[in-house]
């Protein structure tokens, strides 16, 4: 059995990824627990993963598809919006669940030692269940419209990975900030609501005026969503500013990891 020494006075903020790997069993146990609890004692079970995005899709179709009549080219509007929502739903789930994960695990955090980062990271695994159901729903829509996959579909795993990274980047920041400032618990629903309309889900990013595009793509999910849709539907390739989103994802994720490790030393004392 390995001996663990916790030194609160230790200088430096190393990520110590090796330690996280050593606790991989706990990582999967936490993910499995959340999967069991998520739809426990619910009548509809996994159908909620379809009902929630379907309700939003109907609203988008009525407002943006019928009333505003957003131009989506050769792609049916419902399919256009659903593709963006598939990526957004996973991102918002990971962000919101990871954001409040440390507070929810207060009892475990106070009793035993383990890398606290495992808690928010495990939420990324849980979200893949809903993502899989939503993606299956998207495939059904594509079959209904007889939509042929474009050649760039092989790049889809890259954008799925960026979606995971985006959700964890914001989620890790929120989980660390919520420990010190409980007001951030109320920020998460606000971010989900605002982000839904600040991201090209119900509309293409091409509707944004050229002079504001660089600012628009500072939203990490703006470029990821556009790329996700481009891979699946073969829509117009993302603007060159899409790399702003990718850089923001990496900056937020790496900076979030280091800030979390800094706060980790005092989590058990202030949670």
Smallest CA-to-CA distance from 77 within 94, 58, 93 is with: 58
Helix-helix angle 156-180:77-99, to 10 degrees: 40
Non-local (6+) Cβ contacts of 3 within 8 A are none
Tens digit of pLDDT for each residue in 196-254? 889 999 999 988 998 899 999 999 999 999 999 999 998 888 888 899 999 999 999 99
- Strand, helix or coil for residue 141: helix
Non-local (6+) Cβ contacts of 267 within 8 A are 102, 109, 116, 179
Give the C-alpha separation, 194 to 180, whole Å: 24
Rg of the chain taking only CA atoms, in angstroms? 20
- pTM of the predicted protein model: 0.86
The least confident of 23-27, 108-112, 134-138 is 108-112
């Amino acid at each position: 059995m390995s001996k663990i020494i916790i030194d609160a006075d230790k200088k430096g903020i190393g990520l110590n990824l090796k330690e996280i790997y050593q606790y991989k069993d706990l990582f999967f146990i936490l993910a499995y627990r959340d999967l069991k609890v998520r739809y426990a004692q619910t009548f509809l079970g996994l159908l909620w993963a379809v009902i929630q995005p379907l309700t939003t899709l109907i609203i988008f179709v009525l407002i943006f598809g019928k009333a505003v009549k957003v131009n989506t080219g050769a792609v049916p509007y419902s399919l256009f919006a659903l593709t963006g929502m598939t990526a957004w739903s996973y991102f918002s789930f990971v962000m919101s669940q990871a954001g409040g994960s440390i507070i929810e695990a207060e009892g475990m955090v106070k009793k035993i030692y383990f890398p606290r980062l495992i808690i928010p990271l495990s939420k990324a695994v849980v979200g893949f269940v809903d993502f899989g159901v939503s993606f299956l729903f998207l495939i059904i829509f594509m079959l209904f419209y007889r939509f042929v996959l474009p050649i760039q579909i092989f790049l889809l795993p890259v954008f799925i990975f960026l979606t995971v990274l985006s959700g964890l980047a914001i989620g890790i920041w929120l989980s660390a900030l919520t420990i010190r400032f409980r007001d951030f618990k109320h920020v998460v629903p606000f971010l989900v609501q605002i982000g839904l309309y600040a991201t090209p889900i119900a509309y293409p990013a091409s509707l944004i005026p050229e002079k504001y595009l660089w600012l628009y793509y500072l939203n990490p999910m703006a470029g990821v969503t556009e790329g996700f849709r481009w891979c699946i539907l073969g829509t117009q390739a993302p603007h060159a500013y899409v790399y702003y989103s990718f850089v923001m994802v990496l900056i937020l994720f790496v900076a979030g990891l280091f800030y979390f490790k800094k706060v980790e030393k005092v989590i058990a004392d202030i949670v």
